[in-house]
Structure 1
Amino acid sequence: MIDDFAKEYLHSDLREIRETMLWKLDGLDEYDIRRPLTATGTNLLGLVKHLAVSESRYFGEVFGRPFPEPLPRWDDTGARGTDLWASEHETREDIFGLYRRVWHHSDKTITDLAVDAPGHVPWWPRPNVMLFNILVHMLTETNRHAGHADILREQLDGATGAAAEYTNMQRDAAFWAARHAEIERAAKAAVERA
């Protein structure tokens, strides 16, 4: 049986990882939060924007409670992928503000509805869901993108950690260089053994 304890537990974790996503951009300049850091263009501000749009859909229209601001529709093929990066006209504050407004809207849906409240996700193969399913999905999705953000941030300035109070910057560059060399040696040795 799914109960309110499960709902609150998942909701609490979602609130925490949302904050982590924004923290991953702290201290970085405009270029570094926007620039493509992978071959497919993944970037930190785009991850935040994507999560805002996704969460607005999942806790909004899935439960007949659409987010009150205009966003691209999930079935608009012309807008596909535009939620993964920020245009030059969208500021960090715009996207952070949108994400926080989405949180407020989502939190109200989560608070107002029972954990087994029915929803409908037309783009899923099994579209009939409960609030519980969407909580798990959005927690998983947000954590997945937080992992992407971890790696992107580490590539930019070496900062790692799950939150400001748990950063891994207390070790110096010499420690990380030695660790990197140790892992490289192990990788080469494994290839030679094979």
Structure 2
Amino acid sequence: MNLANRITLARIFLVPVIMFFLLVNLDLPPIRIEQFSITYNQIVAALIFIVAASTDSLDGYIARKHKLITNLGKLLDPLADKLLVTAVLVSLVDMGKLDAWIAIVIISREFAVTGLRSICAAEGIVLAASKLGKWKTAAQITAIIALLINNFPFTFLNVPFDLIASWIAAIITIYSGIDYFAKNWHVIQFDN
């Protein structure tokens, strides 16, 4: 197994670790600064999430630079991305930090675009990631990090950045999903 695929597998193995720190109460006192409060669990989960999310670019870079692109990597990389984001979104809903509808919109778009990619692949068409898709990923990661760290440092400014980032992520997610389908509508055949 090459280095790029090992990095991708590491991202997959970090998913349950992140969920553990988000969902298991270690019964440690939270850190409090004025109106801001955060648990050690959240800090650890956020740091692991940041490391895991950053490996997405790293494994792709290594695979392209060293010509290590494999079918296993093509399968594992999008799977790792979806597992990471989905697990954290579901955990954030469970923790009461994210509205369920936003998580459902994001997860539904991922399923829909994955289905579209499968149809395109069956037709011999490679559906590459678009610029909007990359913006979508950046917006989702930004929103997740803001939610994981309880809106730090924006809490001190009374700016609901985590909420704003969540809405922006949802809007870009919807828009990028529509864009994928609009540009590839010709591939979908409807029988009368």
Q: TM-score, length-normalised on structure 1?
A: 0.38
The structure with the largest alpha-carbon Rg is: 1
Q: TM-score, length-normalised on structure 2?
A: 0.38
Q: Which has the higher helix share?
A: 2
